[in-house]
Amino acid sequence: MSVTDTTSGTAADQGARPPAPRRSPRPARRFWGTVAFHTGAGLLSLLWLVPIAVVLITATRSFDDVASHGLGSLPHSFTLGGFRQAWVDGGQQQALINSLLVSIPTVLLSLLLASMAAFALSRYDMPFRRALLLLMLSGNLLPPQILLIPVDKLSEKLGIYDSLYALIGVQVGFGVGFYVFVLHGFMRAIPPEIQQAAVIDGAGPWQIYTRVIMPLARPALAALTALAFTWIFNDLLWAITVLRSEDKMPITASLLGLQGQYVSQWNVIAAGSVIAAAPTVAVFLRFQRHFVAGLNLGAVK
């Protein structure tokens, strides 16, 4: 009797036991999602790197090699003569100097003015500060094409037309608004207790700006330095608007003249493109650690 009861009880327990849970498909989905992501990222990277590789290879080929085997063929020669022609005969040397004479002062002056304006708008209760911030930002929303003629005429009236000073002034004027917007978001997120502690210690506004806020804003400043230098150095529109002399043209405008001078010599044109891209690549590699982090901090906070 007891054996029968035990058997029936065991069968009842087995019937009441819940079914074994099915394996979740999430690990499989995650695996295939990772594979798809890396595959897509690899294809996009390849699509991005192939033109750069073609330019680099073309720049180190001779003209006879390109003319004989075609632009898309495998290289059959290696020479740096294209760089010499672009640097000396094509005027890239003076053009690069002009670009640096414009880019470096413009970046420094723009970030100085933008940081001071952002400090005042973010750390002090100023009247109409939101309206001032929107007014600065609204200048970047205008298409630059509609301002070409006014900027051209204004530079003539001021007597700075066809000079690097005109190009510096234009770049500063059209860049400060965006830099103020980014730095304002970053400086506003700094805890007010830090500024209050500095005030208790007897620090004035200038000391708070130089010794407290600016050191804390280094990530945002580094990101904007890389971004601003790239924008200004690669600009072509404003250069051909306020400049006329060939010896004052920056590197981007010089590439147009190089293409007209060496119409069919693709190795020289490719070498000039590499020379023009080298400074911006170097600046970006120098500030790459702060680039994404600084922009995210300025945008989110």
Q: Is the pLDDT of residue 3 over 70?
A: no
Over residues 134-156, the pLDDT tens digits come to 888 777 787 888 888 999 899 99
Over pLDDT 70: what percentage of the chain?
A: 87
Residue 297: per-residue pLDDT: 53
Q: Is the pLDDT of residue 53 over 50?
A: yes
Mean per-residue pLDDT, 107-124: 92
Q: Is the pLDDT of residue 299 over 70?
A: no
Pairwise CA distance, residues 110 & 171, whole Å: 8
Q: Is the pLDDT of residue 294 over 80?
A: no
Residue 219: per-residue pLDDT: 84
Residue 182: per-residue pLDDT: 87
Hey, where are the domains in the chain? 32-79, 90-300
Q: Is the pLDDT of residue 291 over 70?
A: no
Q: Is the pLDDT of residue 300 over 50?
A: no
> Number of helices and strands (H, E) in the chain?
16, 0
Residue type, 66: V
Nearest alpha carbon to residue 225 among 174, 278, 284: 284
Q: Quote the longest CA-to-CA distance of the chain.
A: 117
Residue 265: per-residue pLDDT: 85
Residue 179: per-residue pLDDT: 92
Q: Is the pLDDT of residue 16 over 60?
A: no
Q: Is the pLDDT of residue 101 over 90?
A: yes
Q: What is the DSSP string of 33-89?
A: HHHHHHHHHHHHHHHHHHHHHHHHHHHTS-HHHHHHH-TTSPP----SHHHHIIIII
Task: Tell me which CATH homologous superfamily contains domain 90-300.
Answer: MetI-like (1.10.3720.10)
Residue 33: per-residue pLDDT: 80
Whole-prediction pTM value? 0.79
**Per-residue confidence at 100, pLDDT binned at 50, 70, 90?**
very high
